[in-house]
Amino acid sequence: MTAKDYLDYIVNEIHRTIVATVDDECLPVTAAIDMMDSDENGLYFLTAKGKGFYDRLKKREFLALTAMKGEDTMSSVAVSIRGKVRELGYDKIPELFEKNPYMRKIYPTEESMHALTVFQIYEGSGEWFDLSKKPIERVSFTFGGAEKKAEGYFITDACIGCGSCAAVCPQNCIMTDSIPYVIEQEHCLHCGNCMTKCPVGAVERR
Amino acid sequence: MTAKDYLDYIVNEIHRTIVATVDDECLPVTAAIDMMDSDENGLYFLTAKGKGFYDRLKKREFLALTAMKGEDTMSSVAVSIRGKVRELGYDKIPELFEKNPYMRKIYPTEESMHALTVFQIYEGSGEWFDLSKKPIERVSFTFGGAEKKAEGYFITDACIGCGSCAAVCPQNCIMTDSIPYVIEQEHCLHCGNCMTKCPVGAVERR
């Protein structure tokens, strides 16, 4: 799947996401916000200009979100995004209302719609996290030209091949065919057991 | 419903929530985290000590979360919490695994469980937001001794009873029987239309 596929998945398969902004005291605030459209330039959502959410978006121009599908934990898929946002204003509102007709039930009149404004998440990184697979599956992606960062646990050349890490890996995702061992990043839970158990400090978190 | 009822609802009826913490640059990070237990002292969840999430929790000792139920927007109920967290450590892990047996599939061995630690959200405020009702329903609550703050839009004594605000309220939740008018807080969307339209500046956001 391409980055655009993940963004489309959020809009079309999940739609209602939980987003996070940060208040003046640098503490997080969450809310349920629908992702109403996607294209090769990012994700689109709307909010009312009267909300504290609007002020927090304008202040830092950054948003994190997780979109989740699945009734229970072991069958859940979560797609998370972190990225830069910008306000596009009212112009795109009629288009978003047409694509999301249920919005008419919340803002029924033309006049009440004018409380709203559109934001775009135009550059960011994301992660697909699928707990329904065994071992779990994790895929990173970026969009809008954001730099790709490799996050997770990595085994360095200091590895002596003792097997301590592989023995405690809950996902059995450490390949021990050659030294240094290799962590299969796409199946790693990021629990850190391998780093804790390595007797020579060969596992690092990046 | 009491505050405890809302916490129980999160654990028993929703369980998998989206939580937000803040990174070193004061930008939000979201993730899916299960709320595994609740009592009169708060909510309980666990995480691996190797995760960045753990470091962010330890740094600010604060968490925001939204727990959502319902397939689509217009039938959704969301419960949001913001509050202080503290680490309880490993002791409560076996109890949480017993209450949440699926955790054994993710951390199958005793040894892998030792990557984990328990956190408690012990003091905070929350909001119940039900979009399935018409008009929408919103209820605030606090727990652990947190102070109750009245957030939203309020009409002051400057109100002249002109009707401008009521005419643009998408939820029809402004009572105009007497002056000053009164906003029914439990039905307010916080869109801010009333504040924008009031000709005498009688609506304030708190």
Best of A11, A46, A66 to substitute, by most chain B Cβ atoms within 10 angstroms, is A66
Q: Which of A30, A105, A134 sits opposite B64 (nearest CB)?
A: A30
Tell if the CB–CB gap between B190 and A21 is shorter than 8 Å.
no
Tell if the CB–CB gap between A28 and B78 is shorter than 8 Å.
no
Tell if the CB–CB gap between A191 and B76 is shorter than 8 Å.
no
Q: Counting beta carbons within 10 angstroms of the beta carbon of residue B186, is it exposed (0 to 12), middle (13 to 18) or buried (19 or more)?
A: middle
Q: Are strands B62-69 and B16-22 parallel, antiparallel or unpaired?
A: antiparallel
- Contact indicator for B190, A50 with CB cutoff of 8 Å: yes
Is the pLDDT score of B50 beyond 90? no
Least confident span in B23-32, B40-49, B106-115: B106-115
Alpha-carbon distance A17 to B103, whole Å?
A: 24
Task: Please report which confidence band the pLDDT of residue A74 belongs to, taking 50, 70 and 90 as the band edges.
Answer: confident
What pLDDT is stored for residue B96 in this prediction? Answer: 97
Which chain B residues touch A106 with a CB distance below 8 Å? 131, 136, 170, 189
Q: Which residue of B has its CA nearest to A21?
A: B28
Task: Please report which confidence band the pLDDT of residue A185 belongs to, taking 50, 70 and 90 as the band edges.
Answer: very high
Tell if the CB–CB gap between B106 and A18 is shorter than 8 Å.
no
A157 token code pair: 């050349």
Residue B206's identity, in one-letter code, is R
Is the pLDDT score of B101 beyond 90? yes
What pLDDT is stored for residue A32 in this prediction? Answer: 95
Tell if the CB–CB gap between B115 and A192 is shorter than 8 Å.
yes
Q: Would you give the distance in Å from CA A135 to the centre of its chain?
A: 20
Using one digit for the tens of pLDDT, what is the confidence trace for B127-169? 999 988 888 999 999 999 998 887 899 999 999 999 999 999 9
How much is the CA Rg of chain A, to the nearest whole Å?
21
Residue A28 distance to chain B (closest CA, Å): 6
Using one digit for the tens of pLDDT, what is the confidence trace for A20-45? 999 999 999 999 999 999 999 999 99
**Residue the block writes with tokens 């008419």:** A104
Structural domains for chain B: 3-143 (2.30.110.10), 153-205 (3.30.70.20)
Tell if the CB–CB gap between B29 and A48 is shorter than 8 Å.
no
Among residues A122, A97, A81, the alpha carbon closest in space to that of A46 is found at: A97
Phi, psi dihedrals of residue A16, rounded to the nearest 5°: -90, 115
Is the pLDDT score of B119 beyond 90? yes
A52 token code pair: 């504290």
Which chain B residues touch A114 with a CB distance below 8 Å? 193
Alpha-carbon distance A179 to A161, whole Å?
A: 6
- Contact indicator for A72, A66 with CB cutoff of 8 Å: no
Q: CA B161, B163, B165: angle at the middle one, nearest 5?
A: 110
Task: Please report which confidence band the pLDDT of residue A108 belongs to, taking 50, 70 and 90 as the band edges.
Answer: confident
Best of A10, A12, A18 to substitute, by most chain B Cβ atoms within 10 angstroms, is A18
Task: Please report which confidence band the pLDDT of residue A111 belongs to, taking 50, 70 and 90 as the band edges.
Answer: confident
Reported ipTM exceeds the 0.95 cut: no
Q: Would you give the distance in Å from CA B194 to the centre of its chain?
A: 25
**Higher model confidence: residue A86 or residue A106?**
A86
Using one digit for the tens of pLDDT, what is the confidence trace for B164-192? 999 999 899 999 999 999 999 999 988 88
Q: Is A63 left (phi over 0), alpha (psi -120 to 50) or beta?
A: beta
